[in-house]
């Protein structure tokens, strides 16, 4: 008698029986080989660690505000061969008895200048510093004539910086409100909540990195921060569009849960997100190289850094944060939660049945196929103790 075959259940996950592919093949094909939603607690913990570190850095170190936000004086003179940042700092220190806030070389070639940032100087101090710099370096103007007018001193008020900050916050609030409305209309409310959570995660982590490295916060950095929010929104919309496509009609089926379909969508858009991020950051890295090593333009450096960090964090948050948050919201209550419980319960029952059939198969194999599963079950029932039966076995004989 042949060994009975085991039935295959449709609810059995096929992942264990699928052929194993390399990480690059799974990335390219998007076959769902990476468990993103299933390991969402790990990604939540990782995201929480990023947020805590960022908030600690902001609270302890704070931000290095640029002159546009703190106010002060900015002195510029041509960077001739006899002018260096160290020499300019020495002249400033000898004039006032303390060091300037910062001294840096800006630009390259004939357009290069030495920029000194200091606290606000009054008229007498301005004259004193201008005379000291002119005496030390004899700078030339654009016509090549030695002139005191080649040294420019400008006063920057912190009022302008506060206005920029207020306008940036208003723009952020308007952007967040419009984003929630758009995603709620285009997709649904839960996706809107997940997208906004991802946006704030991106903002906090990017600001934390900026605080940690100590770069100056300039208007260019604020503009760059607002710019990357559009990129994060774009990435979220792409991922949520795939999630909506994969989960359409999932509540009428019992083979896969909403979370599994969302995980598949995240895998299918993972390679695309990596490609767009790499393509997006390459020109930004080029901008950083040109700004820092070739031109020395601080504005480009600030703009490039905030965009570089924001795009990388945005790519991470759209896949590994927004999608798990969406699934967590869905599985907490409502029809998706009920459907998930139903699928898992059916799967659990199917697993129990498979275990019973496997036990019968092994029992039949142990008898060499001479007995059927029904005969084995019958013998097991015959030898099983009946209710109320006395224990059987040898008793010690009474000795006389």
Regarding predicted confidence, which is higher, 380 or 107?
A: 107
The CA distance from 352 to 354, in Å, is: 5
Q: 339: pLDDT confidence band, cut at 50, 70 and 90?
A: confident
Q: Supply the pLDDT for residue 295.
A: 59
Residue 201 · residue 317 · CB < 8 Å: yes
107 has a pLDDT exceeding 70: no
Q: Supply the pLDDT for residue 4.
A: 44
In percent, the amount of the chain with pLDDT more than 70 equals 74
Q: Supply the pLDDT for residue 45.
A: 94
Q: Supply the pLDDT for residue 52.
A: 95
The CA distance from 299 to 215, in Å, is: 11
Give the residue-averaged pLDDT of 44-62.
Answer: 92
Helix (H, G, I), strand (E, B) or coil at 148: helix
Q: 56: pLDDT confidence band, cut at 50, 70 and 90?
A: very high
321 has a pLDDT exceeding 90: yes
Cα of 345 vs its chain's centroid, Å: 34
Q: Supply the pLDDT for residue 53.
A: 94
pLDDT, tens only, 109-160: 667 788 888 888 888 888 888 888 888 888 887 777 888 888 888 877 767 6
DSSP letter string, 245-295: HHHTTGGG-SSS-HHHHHHHHHHHHHHHHHHHHHHHHHHHHHHHHIIIIII
pLDDT, tens only, 238-272: 899 999 998 988 888 888 889 989 998 888 888 88
Among 99-103, 266-270, 395-399, the range with the most confident prediction by mean pLDDT is 266-270
Q: What is the CA radius of gyration of the chain?
A: 35
214 has a pLDDT exceeding 60: yes
Q: 43: pLDDT confidence band, cut at 50, 70 and 90?
A: very high
Number of other residues whose CB lies within 10 A of the CB of residue 188 = 15
Give the bridge partners for 278, in sequence order. none
DSSP letter string, 161-226: HHHHHHHHHHHHHHHHHHHHHHHHHHT-HHHHHHHHHHHHHHHHHHHHHHHHHT-EE-HHHHHHHH
pLDDT, tens only, 154-190: 877 767 667 777 887 788 788 878 888 888 888 888 9
**Angle between the 40-60 and 298-320 helix axes, to the nearest 10 degrees?**
150
Q: Supply the pLDDT for residue 332.
A: 87
Out of 127-136, 159-168, 219-228, 358-367, least confident range? 358-367
Mean per-residue pLDDT of the chain: 78
Give the residue-averaged pLDDT of 80-101.
Answer: 84
The CA distance from 320 to 37, in Å, is: 8
The single-letter DSSP state of residue 140 is B
Residue 190 · residue 329 · CB < 8 Å: yes
400 has a pLDDT exceeding 50: no
- Output phi, psi for 155, to 5 deg: -100, 130
Q: Supply the pLDDT for residue 20.
A: 60
Across the chain, the runs of DSSP E, i.e. the strands, are: 64-65, 72-78, 102-106, 113-118, 152-156, 216-217
The CA distance from 293 to 297, in Å, is: 9
Q: 6: pLDDT confidence band, cut at 50, 70 and 90?
A: very low
Among residues 280, 337, 307, the alpha carbon closest in space to that of 226 is found at 307
């Amino acid at each position: 008698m042949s060994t009975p075959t085991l039935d295959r259940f449709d609810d059995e996950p096929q992942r264990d029986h699928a052929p194993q592919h390399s990480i690059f093949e799974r990335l390219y094909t998007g076959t769902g080989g990476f468990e993103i939603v299933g390991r969402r607690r790990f990604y939540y913990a990782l995201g929480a660690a990023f947020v805590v570190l960022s908030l600690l850095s902001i609270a302890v170190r704070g931000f290095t505000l640029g002159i546009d936000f703190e106010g002060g004086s900015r002195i510029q003179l041509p960077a001739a061969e006899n002018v260096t940042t160290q020499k300019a700092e020495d002249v400033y220190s000898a004039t006032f008895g303390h060091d300037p806030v910062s001294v840096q070389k800006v630009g390259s070639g004939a357009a290069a200048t030495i920029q000194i940032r200091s606290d606000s100087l009054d008229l007498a101090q301005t004259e004193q510093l201008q005379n000291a710099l002119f005496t030390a370096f004899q700078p030339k103007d654009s016509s090549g004539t030695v002139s005191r007018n080649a040294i420019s001193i400008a006063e920057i008020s912190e009022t302008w910086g506060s206005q920029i900050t207020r306008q940036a916050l208003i723009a952020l609030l308007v952007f967040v409100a419009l984003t929630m409305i758009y995603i709620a209309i285009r997709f649904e409310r839960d996706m809107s909540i997940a997208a906004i959570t991802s946006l704030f995660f991106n903002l906090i982590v990017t600001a934390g990195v900026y605080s940690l490295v100590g770069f100056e916060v300039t208007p260019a950095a604020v503009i760059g921060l607002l710019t990357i929010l559009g990129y994060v929104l774009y990435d979220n919309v792409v991922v949520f569009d795939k999630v909506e496509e994969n989960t359409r009609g999932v509540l009428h089926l019992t083979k896969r849960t909403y979370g599994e379909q969302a995980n598949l969508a995240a895998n299918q858009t993972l390679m695309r997100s990596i490609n767009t991020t790499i393509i997006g950051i390459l020109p930004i890295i080029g901008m950083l190289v040109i700004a820092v090593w070739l031109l020395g333009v601080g504005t480009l450096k600030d703009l490039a850094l905030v965009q570089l960090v924001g795009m990388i964090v945005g790519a991470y948050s759209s896949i590994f944060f927004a999608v798990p948050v969406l699934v967590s919201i869905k599985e907490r209550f409502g029809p998706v939660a009920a459907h998930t419980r139903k699928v898992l319960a059916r799967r659990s029952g199917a697993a129990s049945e498979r275990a019973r059939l496997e036990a019968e198969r092994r029992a039949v194999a142990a008898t060499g196929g001479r007995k059927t599963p029904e005969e084995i079950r019958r013998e097991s029932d015959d030898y099983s103790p009946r209710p109320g039966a006395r224990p059987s076995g040898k008793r010690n004989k009474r000795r006389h």
